[in-house]
Amino acid sequence: MKPCLATIYRYSIPFLRPVPVRRSSLGTRDGFLLALRSPGGHTGFGEIAPLPGLHEETLEQAGQQLTEFLRRPLQDIGNLTIGNVADSLPKNLFPSVLTGIEMALLNLQAGMKGAFPLPQPYNRPAKILPLNALLFGDTPTVLEQAAAFSRQGYRTFKLKVNAHNAEAASEQLNALNRTLPKDALIRLDSNRSFGLAEAASFLDTLPKERIAYIEEPLRRTPEIPELFRRTGVRSALDESLWQHPGIHSRLPTESLGGFVLKPSRIGGVAATVKLAAEAHSLGLPAVIGSAFETGVSLGFFVRIASLLDPDPPACGLDTFRQFRRDILAEPLTVEGGNLSVEEAYRKSLRPEFSMLKTVGEWTL
C-alpha cells in the first residue's frame, strides 16, 4: 500500500533562552513536518529541521527538495524496516530531508500494521530510556541546573566546552564535581575546538573520574589516540563520523568512548542503525542525540534508541526542555531522568495543529 496524500506544515517555536550552536545562538527553532496519509486514514509524521550551524542545507533548501520529492511517485511501504527504509529513496537527499521522509514512512507503516517495523531477529526493546541533561550558562546557572536535574534523578550530564572558555569550563567542572552525587558522570562536548596540547592541558585540570568522555575534542581527529595516551580520557565521535566516514576503524578502540549519532545529520535512520551496529561490534555505546528537533522527532528517536540496545546508554534527547512550548498536543515528561519509550513514542504521533502552518498538500 502507498500513501495517498502528503501535507507539509511549517512551525516556528521559541527557545526558553538563546541556545548556543557553534559560534552563534538561536532564539527560535524552525522546521517542517511532513504528514503522509494512507487510504485507510492512518497518518505518519516526519520532521525536517536542519539546524543552522550544524547542517549544510538551509531550511528553504530542505523545503524545496522535499517538495520536489513529493512530485514523484512514492514506493509501496508494505515491507519497510529501520534497516532498509532508505533503500528505495533517492541517494542525493539532504540528511535532514532523508531522515524526515524515513520517519514519516516508518510511522505510517507502524500505524497501519499496529507494530513498529523491525528486521528479524531483533533485541527485546528497552522500556525506559535514560537521558543526559544538557547544561550551559555561567557557573552559578550551571550549578543550579545540575542541582535541579540531579533532584529529578538524572545521573548523566553534558557540558559544552571549547578552547576559548577552557578556564571557565574547568571552574564549572570542578564545582560540579564537588556538588554532584558520587554516581553522576559528565560528558564534555568540544566541537573540535582544541589543539592536542591545549586539550591535554585542559583535561589535566579536571576530575577525570567524573568524565565519561569528551566529544570531538580535537581539530585533528587522528590525534585522539595520543590525547588518550596523555590523559586517559576517552573521546566520542560525532561530526567525524559523517565528515570522515570510516575514521573510527582507523582509531584504537581503547581511545574511544562511544559514537554520538544524530540521525538528521549522520545521514538518516538506516545510516544511524548501521553505525550503531558498528559501535556495538567494537564494544562502544551508541548514543542517540538530537539537533534540537521537536518532540515529533524525539519520541521517534527514543523508539529507535530502545531498539538498538536493550540496556541503552543515556541519550541526548532531553533538548525539548529548551522550548517554551513544544509542538506536541501532549508534552513529553521525564521521570527519574528517564523517558518511558511507549509513552514518548505515542505522544510524538500527535502534533498540535494550531501551532502548524500548512505549506502545501499533494495527492500522491
Strand intervals (E) in 216-262: 235-237, 256-261
5-118+352-363: CATH architecture: 2-Layer Sandwich (3.30)
Residue in 318, 324, 325 with CA at minimum distance from that of residue 352:
325
pLDDT at 120 over 70: no
Residue 286 pLDDT: 97
Distance CA 186, CA 173 (A): 9
Sequence ranges of the chain with CATH classification 3.20.20.120: 128-348
DSSP string, 287-334: EEB-SS--HHHHHHHHHHHHHH-SSPPPBB--GGGGBSS-SBSS----
CATH topology of domain 128-348: TIM Barrel (3.20.20)
Which has the higher per-residue pLDDT, 248 or 77?
Answer: 248
CA 94: distance to chain centroid?
16
Q: Which three cell numbers stand for residue 14?
A: 521559541
156 Cβ contact list (under 8 Å, min separation 6): 130, 131, 132, 133, 184, 185, 186, 187, 212, 314, 337
Q: With CA atoms as reference, report the closest residue to 189 among 46, 72, 80, 289.
A: 289
* pTM listed for this prediction: 0.95
Distances (CA, A) of 335 to 67, 112, 131, 329: 39, 30, 10, 19
pLDDT tens sequence across 209-237: 999 999 999 999 999 999 999 999 999 99
CATH 3.30.390.10 domain span(s) along the chain? 5-118+352-363
